[in-house]
Structure 1
Amino acid sequence: MPRTKTPPHLATLILLPAFSVLSLNMFLPSLANIAADLEADYSTVSLAVAGYLAVTAIVQLLVGPLSDRIGRRPVLLAALTSFFVASVACSLAQDVWSFLIFRMLQGGIISGYALSLAIVRDTTSERKAAGLIGYISMTMAIAPMLGPMLGGVLDTAFGWRANFYFYAIFGLVLLVICWIDLGETKPTKAERSGASPESVRTLMKERLFWAYSLCTTFSTGAFYIFLTGAPLVAASEFGVNTAQLGFCIGTITAGFIAGSFLSGRFAPKHAPATMMLAGRLTACIGLTAGLVVMLAGYLNPVVFFGSTIFVGLGNGLTMPSSNTSAMSVRPSLAGSAAGLTGALVVAGGAILTTITGQLLPEEGAGVILHFLMLAASGAGLASVLWAMRLRAEKPS
């Protein structure tokens, strides 16, 4: 049996969340081919994305508390085993419904994201955890950019099932890595208390936990709003073609990578509230400056996408510290906190993208989209200020 408090190598902590992202978007270029091969409507096959997101929200609500009760290691190994089996089944599916069923079972891989954060918090101090999560986030952000490219190449060369062969092989490799490298890190003092329903309810009653989690949710929400509206703005306002659109959308991810790198450098040296506040102010000031320029009549791609870079930069500064702080409210329930925060982010993203789609007009969407992003970023700033007030009121 692995020794308690045996942290995995950094590479393992990077691979777990990165592969969670790849499992969502790598096969997206194959959706049309899957629909044709399985003789299904595209709208039905697209449930492999929407339904999968819903499943990941539910999974995070379950695996976080479960890992606090029985440990990080067994939950992760079970999730990776389930992912491997489901990937093999997807690659062999002969009808759309069996494909979708096993695709939903792949959602267990999201455990790799939630529990990697909990493992970092288990094994390091709050400030060091924020710095390490910053570096993990920086490298993890590359996965959404490379995933669809790799998936498209595999589909073109070998067909859509090759994506799921890749999932199965890499999932098995990751399972072996975790079996060898991942020792149990759940705090010993949590052995008896675990994650009983009562203890989880106690966490959910903590206003400070909600302040940190809402900061993460609204910060990520600004990014989801951007992804929803940027293609419309690029086409209707600027006449940007699809090749240029990919580059423009990638700028916000570049900002996030830069912000995460800065978190890795500075979060261990500064209080989490300082990093969160700096990130929220960066996002709000950048968006406000862009709005002022656009309202003055200078609406162009450089101004629009240049100001949204600050959302990515601000998120990179904020989220490692806000995630770490949410898990630090009750360290013995770090898994529950990571899972609840992850589920809240998914639910918040679904709500905000729906609102964005309803509110954006066909023309003049650029300014409206900026207002929506600023509102979400401002809500994140309000959450940080709320957290700072709660910390100040808390007896030392």
Structure 2
Amino acid sequence: MTSTAEAPPPIAKPSFIALLIAVAAVSPLGINMYLPSTPGMARALGVDFTTIQLTLSLYLAAMAVGQLIIGPLSDRFGRRPVLLIGLAIFVMGSLICLMAQGIVLLIFGRIVQAVGGCAGITLSRAIVRDLYGRNQVASMIGYVTMGMAIAPMLAPTIGGILETFYGWRASFVFLMAFGSLALLFAFLQLHETNNNRGAAGSARMLLRSYFGLFGSRLFWGYTLATSFVSAVFFAFLAGAPYVMIELMGRSPAEYGFYFAIVPCGYILGNFASGRFAGRVGVNLMILTGTIMTLVSVAVMAGIFAAGFIHPVALFGPMFFIGLGNGLVLPSGIAGAVSVKPDAAGAAAGLSGSLQIGFGAMVAPLVGSALDMTVWPLIAIMAACALFAIASFALVAKRRKAPAAG
């Protein structure tokens, strides 16, 4: 009992908050940093845009699978050792990408990067659940994610500049350096927060935890709403470089500068989650965010239908889609990891896996559907937004009764 009473104080330290932000930012950096380089990478490696999209979609797929393993491993062996090993693997994957001379080795390096990097985003959530009660988790995740969003906000801008002056490999030098610093920071600052490690026991017990989550309608409601809202964003990530650079004829650096609009909305949404989720409840935050997302996609469609073909037509509505993501994700994640607090790592891993897995599915779909117009991208984003609202019905019905844990 003493250990649980002593656990909260490190959270108050700015250095501990900065640690959670840094390790959670590793994987989003891996997604966003190199995106302005994808058309140039395709030309340099002699492949088409659909093939180069595999470096994104397989990265997301590897993240999805990795979180299924990392979450339960951290329940059994502790957050600290699993996080340190994951960050070391991310650095190794970045080095492989840097040295790659062909598309096959590059894709392999991206998969290694993803498996290691997802430890940060999964375990930062589990660490928060270790240290906070259910009603505080959404607020805390909102604040951590708000700080974390600065990294992907700056990443495409930095990546576009690096691509313009030094070529596409420079982005992987940056990722390797950032991952190494995050690893050192975690090694020096992170103490174990999972006081129930080992309780998960055997593989059979781990599977039992997953089956318990599989049978929870509440868990699925939170997770699917979060996953579909995320899929809107991932669809945009997959298609926007092509629309901006190939269809509109803009430069990678310009793409990077416009992209900074999107995380600004995400930061604002997470700030609102941090301030209000504890007071108004997670359901209202999720409902507001999903409706805002759908309306923003509809506005984007209307602007393009009116014949205004400009980056503002793409990135203006994306500010509000980012805001919607910031409202939905902290509350959806908090709800998912609070269904079974004794299996918070498994819940964080499974919900995160599905969230990223949906992105892995829509990314190649967008890559193959895009032709000479923006409409396949808008159609896929609209479908995901509609499914997010439909998924919320699972939560709305069940949350009338108080959740266990």
Q: Structure 1: how far apart are the matches of 2:141 and 2:78?
A: 20
- Matched residue, 2:210: 200
Q: How many Å apart are 1:311 and its aligned residue?
A: 1.8
More displaced, 267-276 or 208-217?
Answer: 267-276
* 8 Å Cα contact 1:121/1:327 also seen in 2: yes
Letter of the 1:172 counterpart: S
CA 216–161 in structure 1, closer or farther in 2 if over 3 Å, else same = same
Q: Which amino acid aligns with 2:158?
A: L
Aligned pairs for 1:116-127 within 5 A:
116-127=124-135
Query: Which of 336, 339, 361 is equivalent to 1:326?
Result: 336
For 1:171, which of 167, 179, 186 is the aligned residue? 179
Distance verdict in 2 for CA 1:262–1:337, change over 3 Å? same
Kindly provide the CA deviation profile for residues 326-380 of structure 1, in whole angstroms up to 9, marking residues without a partner as x: 10111111111121122212221232344445666745x45x6555433322321
Counterpart in the other structure of 2:269: 259
Using the TM superposition, name which of 245-254 and 377-386 deviates more.
Answer: 245-254
2:31–2:56 Cα contact (<8 Å) kept: yes
Once structures 1 and 2 are overlaid, which stretch shifts more, 244-253 or 379-388? 244-253
> In the alignment, which residue of structure 2 is the partner of 1:106?
113
The farther-off stretch of 329-338 and 253-262 is 253-262
Closer/same/farther in 2, CA of residues 93 and 213 from structure 1, 3 Å limit: same
Q: TM-score, normalised by structure 1?
A: 0.81
- Rate the CA distance shift 1:11–1:96 in 2: closer, same or farther, 3 A: same
Equivalent in the alignment of 1:141: 149
Task: State the Cα distance separating 1:104 from its structure 2 match.
Answer: 3.0
Change (3 A) 1:307 1:153: closer
Confirm or deny: 8 A CA contact 2:94 2:172 kept in the other structure: yes
Question: Shift of the alpha carbon at 1:291?
Answer: 5.6
Matches within 5 A, 1:188-267: 188=196, 191-194=198-201, 196-230=206-240, 241-242=250-251, 246-267=256-277
How far does the alpha carbon of each residue in 1:69-121 deviate from its partner, in whole angstroms, 9 at most, with x for none? 21111111111233334445555667776665444322212110111111111
**TM-score, normalised by the number of residues in structure 2:** 0.80
Root-mean-square deviation (CA, aligned residues, Å) is: 3.7
SS in 1 for 2:194: coil
Asked if the contact 1:65–1:200 (Cα under 8 Å) also holds between the matched residues in 2, the reply is no
Q: How does 1:1-396 map to 2 (within 5 A)?
A: 5=7, 7=10, 9-28=16-35, 41-42=46-47, 48-88=55-95, 91=98, 101-107=108-114, 108-151=116-159, 163-188=171-196, 191-194=198-201, 196-230=206-240, 241-242=250-251, 246-288=256-298, 305-357=315-367, 362-363=372-373, 365-366=374-375, 369-370=377-378, 372-393=380-401
* 112 and 268 in structure 1: CA distance in 2 versus 1, 3 angstrom threshold: same
**Rounded Cα–Cα distance in structure 2 between residues aligned with 1:205 and 1:158:** 51
In structure 2, what residue type is equivalent to 1:74?
P
Alpha-carbon separation, structure 2, partners of 1:87 and 1:370: 32
Higher-Rg member (1/2)? 1
- The alignment of Structure 1 onto Structure 2 pairs a total of residues equal to 387
CA distance in 2, matches of 1:158, 1:246: 15
Deviations 1:223-279 (A, max 9, x none): 223344556666899x57446655554433332222112112112222111211121
Deviation at 1:222, TM superposition (A): 1.5
Partners of 1:359 and 1:33 in 2: how far apart? Answer: 20
1:229 and 1:153 map into 2 onto residues whose CA distance is 20
> How far apart, in 2, do the equivalents of 1:275 and 1:153 lie?
36
Gaps of 5+ in 1: none
* Contact 1:31–1:42 under 8 Å retained in 2: no
